[in-house]
């Protein structure tokens, strides 16, 4: 397996199940801090909402960090790969258009972790949205503008 690129290794064993809850993490290309601009981060949030409106997924919690996002999502239909591909490709178009930038916005793949019913989803959501605190970006989560959770 040593000859596989890291993004291909992430795909090994990946399954998508409707009604399953996943924690998704993906990074910007070269970990550039694109989303230290609030308005560009909101364009990614808009793509999360569109996926929900289309019935593809239910957003349970998310945080957009300057160079990555975490998203707890319940997959409703389609595959996880298709959902993330749609969010990443559409957000690339809108972010690049709004900022005048060109080229790749996201790293090739994403990391996913299927969550079990026994997992404490509220605790996981709190961990996700507290990311800006741990990164030292704010002193209180309410001071960070790019997060949400259905339980908070």
What's the pLDDT tens digit per position in 66-79?
999 999 999 999 99
Structure tokens at 149: 């959770």
Q: Which of 116, 111, 93, 114 is nearest to 46 (CA)?
A: 93
Mean pLDDT value of segment 39-64: 98
Whole-structure pTM over 0.85, yes or no?
yes
Q: Is domain 6-149 given the CATH code 3.30.559.10 in the classification?
A: no
What's the pLDDT tens digit per position in 112-122?
999 987 788 99
Categorize the per-residue pLDDT at 11 as very low, low, confident or very high, splitting at 50, 70 and 90.
very low
Mean pLDDT value of segment 89-118: 95
pLDDT value of residue 14: 55
pLDDT value of residue 119: 80
Contact residues for 22 (Cβ-Cβ < 8 A; gap 6+): 72, 73, 74, 75, 80, 112, 113, 114, 115
pLDDT at 10 over 50: no
Mean pLDDT value of segment 10-18: 62
Mean pLDDT value of segment 33-54: 98
Among 17-21, 63-67, 143-147, which stretch is predicted with the lowest mean pLDDT?
A: 17-21
- Helix, strand, coil % over all residues of the chain, rounded to 5: 40, 20, 35
Q: Where are the domains of the chain?
A: 6-149
d(CA 56, CA 130): 26
């Amino acid at each position: 397996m040593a000859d596989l690129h890291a993004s291909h290794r992430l795909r090994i064993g990946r399954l998508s199940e409707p009604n399953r809850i996943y924690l998704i993490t993906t990074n910007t290309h070269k970990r550039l801090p694109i989303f230290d601009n609030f308005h560009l981060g909101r364009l990614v949030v808009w793509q999360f909402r569109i996926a929900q409106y289309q019935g593809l997924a239910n957003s349970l919690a998310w945080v957009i960090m300057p160079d990555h996002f975490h998203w707890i999502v319940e997959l409703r239909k389609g595959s996880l790969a298709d959902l993330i591909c749609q969010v990443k490709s559409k957000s690339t178009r809108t972010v690049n258009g709004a900022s005048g930038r060109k080229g790749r916005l996201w790293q090739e793949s994403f990391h996913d972790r299927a969550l079990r019913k026994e997992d404490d989803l509220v605790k996981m959501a709190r961990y996700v949205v507290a990311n800006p605190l741990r990164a030292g970006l704010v002193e209180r989560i309410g001071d960070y503008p790019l997060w949400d959770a259905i339980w908070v």
